[in-house]
Structure 1
Amino acid sequence: MPTLYLCLLLAGLHTAAHCDHLPDHHNEHKDHEATAPEEHREKHISETMDYLKLVPSNDDFAFRLYNQITKAAPKKNIFFSPVCISTAFAMLAHGAKSATLTQILEGLSFNLTELQEKEIHDGFHSLIHMLNQPGRELQLDLGNALFLKEKLKILEKFLADIKTLYEAEAFTVNFKNTAEAQKQINDYVEKKTHGKIVELVKNLDPETAMILVSYIFFKGKWEKPFNPEFTTERDFFVDEDTTIKVPMMHRMGMFYLHFDEELSCTVVQLHYNGSAMAYFILPEKGKMKQVEDALWKETVTRWSNSLRRSSVNLYIPKFSVAGTYDLKSHLINMGVIDVFSDKADLSGITGKQELKVSRVVHKAVLNVDERGTEAAAATAIEIMPMSLPQVTEFNSPFLLLIFDGVTKSTLFVGKIYNPTEH
């Protein structure tokens, strides 16, 4: 049976500051809707909000996958984009049938008694459209592409649907010439991720029938940047036996903060210009597993509702982290089984049961530094209370979540175990 590779990737450049709770964007399209004809207004609102139906399931998938990855590598840095992986598998599901289809969608945490397949695809179409909106203060690009074997007959309906619903591009590739095929795919990926993801595809099988690529590129500037002059070398306690020196960014100011007494962890919410925000979660000594076991959407919602504006003397490492994952075993553990076997039914792609998935590759890159807005925004005056600020220093392994406030999507999930480990 010919093979189909799923290559899922992400690139990110990041920077940070404080913020409000999850912003309310119900009026995001107010001006446009006011000028739309009355009979189209309700339909327009419904279509642009389709992505909200995905939020609970996408969050469940994000934290289920994190749980799988950290079990396999508990003392390693972790960083991945759940929304990128979900998008790719939802696109694949559009060509799946029978048990293969059910396993993929349920593996993505969708309850098929509550949400119809069409609603899922419409939701992803709406999500991609919203994330790729031009004119946002942060740079965020989510896209998909198919690289097809020469002479592989793809159903016109499948091609048309994924171009419409998932904004996917399609290219013909000679997989027999593995070197040239790898170059074509990797050049495309490198260009789309602004040079951040290189050599995604390696050791390509000449019998490959199709490669599906889903990418996300994110570049954000901190709403309140850190001053590089205040970055100094400080200790980071990886574990009881390992202490390293890291460049530690420093900023004193008003931040949204919460100490979770039940889980023994500190949560700091930082904001990017635009709609994205980051949660930095610092477990107390010996409490990382306790926090990881509780990392579900309900916990994050509770944190968000408990945040309070506080005066904080904040230290966060400046770091770069990259991760490459073969997700096949993790997805099998999550119930996505048949698509990797000869039982695979992807007949919605070619009209025949002739394809199966052999590999699922996800590569992620993250850079966190001081950079923020140029000029004026960096000189804003912040009024501080007279009391001494609380010192919060991320000097031991911590978790990182990055959200898009408009779509309520979990863009990235990570754990920084050792900031110096690339």
Structure 2
Amino acid sequence: MKSALYLCLLLLGLQVQGQRRSNLNDEQQEQKIFHSQEDDFQDEGENLAHVKIAPSNADFAFRFYKQIREKADNKNIFFSPLSISTAFAMLSLGARSNTLSQLHKGLTFNLTEMEEQEIHEGFQRVLQLLNDPHREVQLSMGNALFIDDRLKLLQKFLDDITNFYYSEAVSSDFQNSPEAVKEINKYIETKTHGKIVGLLKSLDSDTVMVLVNYIFFKGYWEKPFNSLTTRDDDFFLDAKNSIKVKMMHQNKVFNIHRDDKLSCWVVEIPYKGNATALFVLPDEGSMNQVEDALLKETVSNWMQSLEKRKIYLDLPKFSISGSYDVKNLFEKMGVTEVFSDQADLSGVAEKTLLKVSKAIHKAMVDVSENGTEAAAVTVIEVVPMSAEFPPPPRIRFNRPFLMMIVDKTTHSILFMGKIVNPAAKED
């Protein structure tokens, strides 16, 4: 058995729903979220790399969700598939032979359909687009490598992670483990705007490198909820148990779809800027069949089937988080070698045998109205009366539902989850 020095991966995601009033914009240009590279993107010229990796990233998102669901034990789920796939794609730059093949397969990249270079160019473009300072949503995503002073990275690996993933390389003293933990936690806290604190508890004594990926998103609803209409209401955890939650309400036109085959409602609630949230409400007893059908084709079909319609919408305020042992989940998906003594990460560093000892992911979400600025404002809307037929449906998210946050510019699922109990703060 060969000895190995350890590499730790920390993957973070944070979405915060906005705390200020935004402008209303009723016309939101719909786009399909999972395009093939042949679709209408000529205006972006050669920067189509992100389009090519979008279907694979979507496949990975739903595959990973189903792994979490198996162990979730009827708890809330919330994670950033893009954070996880970006981190492991970056690591794959230093992987070789079967270790590399397993990573590609686990991330659902098919090298008969795209070249390895195109994968990294795709993530490079996603990072460029997400971090565009002119975006209306507050969105930042980035990577950092904390490297032990004793570890000599290969120049090509360093060049590639800097070029494709804009990764910061930070020299650290892992022999002083408490200080290194403190330094990494401080970095995480800063990049997540103080929302994820003290994530890393300790490091293995042999750790020589820690890879961190973070994504921070703060969006403002295009049509904010009026906090004066938020009221206490029942949320049904199951057929027998309910809890009281703060239920937000709107009576407006939304893009919605009724999927009779899967017995669920789909409601799109757009953010100001080119991002949107998709809320999926299965009929009572239909959650399992909707989850089983979660595939990129299903979601693409939902997005294409959305129609503008006035509805009575009830949506709970919630703030939840999810923490996951990605190593354990990846091993169940067949990605095992990178965590074992057979790992081939020979493209990372000179004369050092490396394997991944730990990969953890934490994500948080906070969904609310448009915040305190609107609390003292009363909005009275006057609309002409009309003989509406059929009457607007009332869609009440007062039982477990699914949520996806999609960035339309990159066709990426930034976050996804299942809200089983809106009042449960911790995973």
Q: Give the structure-1-normalised TM-score.
A: 0.92
Contact 1:223 1:373 in 2 (8 A): no
Question: What do the CA deviations read for 1:237-267 (whole angstroms, capped 9, x no partner)?
Answer: 0012320000000011001111111111110
Alignment of 1:14-163 (within 5 A): 14=17, 19-22=28-31, 45-46=45-46, 48-163=47-162
Sort the Cα spacing of 1:257 and 1:69 in 2 relative to 1 into closer, same or farther, 3 A. Answer: same
Deviation at 1:22, TM superposition (A): 2.0
Question: Which residue number in structure 2 is paired with residue 34 of structure 1?
Answer: none
Question: Which residue number in structure 1 is paired with residue 413 of structure 2?
Answer: 410
Contact 2:148 2:208 in 1 (8 A): yes
- Structure 1 counterpart of 2:248, one-letter code: M
- Stretches of structure 1 that go unaligned for 5 or more consecutive residues are 31-43
SS of the residue corresponding to residue 119 of structure 1 reads: helix
Residue 398 of structure 2 is aligned to residue 395 of structure 1: yes
Tell me, in whole angstroms, the C-alpha distance in 1 between the residues paired with 2:256 and 2:42. Answer: 31
Sort the Cα spacing of 1:134 and 1:27 in 2 relative to 1 into closer, same or farther, 3 A. Answer: farther
- Structure 2 counterpart of 1:69, one-letter code: I
Sort the Cα spacing of 1:139 and 1:325 in 2 relative to 1 into closer, same or farther, 3 A. Answer: same
Contact 2:7 2:207 in 1 (8 A): yes
Contact 1:345 1:353 in 2 (8 A): no
Tell me, in whole angstroms, the C-alpha distance in 1 between the residues paired with 2:372 and 2:55. Answer: 33
Contact 2:32 2:304 in 1 (8 A): no
Sort the Cα spacing of 1:249 and 1:169 in 2 relative to 1 into closer, same or farther, 3 A. Answer: same
- Stretches of structure 2 that go unaligned for 5 or more consecutive residues are none
SS of the residue corresponding to residue 359 of structure 2 reads: strand
Contact 1:12 1:219 in 2 (8 A): yes
Contact 1:230 1:250 in 2 (8 A): yes
Contact 1:143 1:215 in 2 (8 A): yes
Contact 2:227 2:371 in 1 (8 A): no
Tell me, in whole angstroms, the C-alpha distance in 1 between the residues paired with 2:291 and 2:72. Answer: 13
Tell me, in whole angstroms, the C-alpha distance in 1 between the residues paired with 2:222 and 2:373. Answer: 11
Deviation at 1:74, TM superposition (A): 3.9
Question: What do the CA deviations read for 1:43-73 (whole angstroms, capped 9, x no partner)?
Answer: x721x22110101100000000000000111
Question: Which residue number in structure 2 is paired with residue 168 of structure 1?
Answer: 167
- Structure 2 counterpart of 1:226, one-letter code: F
Contact 2:96 2:344 in 1 (8 A): yes
SS of the residue corresponding to residue 348 of structure 2 reads: helix
Residue 14 of structure 2 is aligned to residue 11 of structure 1: yes
Contact 2:278 2:405 in 1 (8 A): yes
Residue 230 of structure 2 is aligned to residue 231 of structure 1: yes
Question: Which residue number in structure 1 is paired with residue 309 of structure 2?
Answer: 310
Tell me, in whole angstroms, the C-alpha distance in 1 between the residues paired with 2:145 and 2:164. Answer: 14
Residue 181 of structure 2 is aligned to residue 182 of structure 1: yes
Question: Which residue number in structure 2 is paired with residue 267 of structure 1?
Answer: 266
Contact 2:32 2:300 in 1 (8 A): no
Tell me, in whole angstroms, the C-alpha distance in 1 between the residues paired with 2:371 and 2:87. Answer: 31
Identical aligned pairs, as a percentage? 50
Deviation at 1:352, TM superposition (A): 3.9
Q: Give the structure-2-normalised TM-score.
A: 0.91
Tell me, in whole angstroms, the C-alpha distance in 1 between the residues paired with 2:204 and 2:383. Answer: 60
Tell me, in whole angstroms, the C-alpha distance in 1 between the residues paired with 2:363 and 2:282. Answer: 24
Question: What do the CA deviations read for 1:123-164 (whole angstroms, capped 9, x no partner)?
Answer: 111111111111111011010000011221111111111111
Deviation at 1:200, TM superposition (A): 1.8
Alignment of 1:178-327 (within 5 A): 178-327=177-326
- Structure 1 counterpart of 2:200, one-letter code: V
Contact 1:10 1:197 in 2 (8 A): no
Aligned CA-pair RMSD: 2.4
SS of the residue corresponding to residue 176 of structure 1 reads: coil
Sort the Cα spacing of 1:132 and 1:28 in 2 relative to 1 into closer, same or farther, 3 A. Answer: farther
Tell me, in whole angstroms, the C-alpha distance in 1 between the residues paired with 2:45 and 2:379. Answer: 38
Aligned residue pairs, count: 407
Sort the Cα spacing of 1:231 and 1:343 in 2 relative to 1 into closer, same or farther, 3 A. Answer: same
Deviation at 1:373, TM superposition (A): 11
Sort the Cα spacing of 1:6 and 1:137 in 2 relative to 1 into closer, same or farther, 3 A. Answer: same
Deviation at 1:383, TM superposition (A): 5.1
